[in-house]
């Protein structure tokens, strides 16, 4: 049924204007349109929808991931723009300088302007 549908990540924001600035200016996504319900960004041939909600940042899990070809390059570029990457030391997940080697992928996590946990991953 949905095997041929396009999936669209959807994230909540406490402050939609702040989220727009973060995703457009800091992460470099293209703002496609604003609707009554939120804003739509283009990213790598797919879309991301962000809407205003008081529940933003309440989930403690990864809300969304970007898949990239050069994780270290992306992390370095985002750090230059002020993005701080999380450090984790859990059983099965340890970051070193913000990056975890997960056997087949390397990943890093940051918290967006709205408190959502976002991953960046490179499949190796």
Residues 6+ apart with CB under 8 A from 84: 110, 111
Q: What percent of the chain has pLDDT over 70?
A: 100
Q: Which domains does the chain have, with CATH numbers?
A: 7-53 (3.10.180.10), 62-124 (3.10.180.10)
pLDDT at 124 over 90: no
| Strands 62-67 and 46-52, bridge-based pairing | unpaired
Band the pLDDT of 1: cuts 50, 70, 90: confident
Contact by Cβ (8 Å): 116, 59: yes
User: For the residues 109-113, what does the mean pLDDT come to?
Assistant: 98
């Amino acid at each position: 049924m949905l095997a041929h549908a396009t999936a669209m990540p959807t994230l909540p924001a406490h402050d939609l204007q702040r989220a727009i600035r973060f995703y457009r200016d800091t992460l470099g996504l293209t703002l496609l349109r604003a609707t009554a319900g939120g804003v739509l960004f283009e990213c790598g041939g797919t879309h991301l929808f962000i809407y205003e909600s008081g529940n933003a940042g309440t989930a403690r899990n990864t809300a969304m991931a970007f898949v990239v070809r050069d994780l270290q390059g992306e992390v370095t570029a985002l750090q230059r723009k002020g993005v701080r990457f999380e450090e984790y030391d859990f059983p099965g997940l340890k970051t070193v300088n913000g990056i975890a080697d997960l056997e087949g992928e390397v990943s890093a996590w940051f918290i967006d302007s709205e408190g959502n946990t976002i991953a960046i991953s490179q499949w190796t």
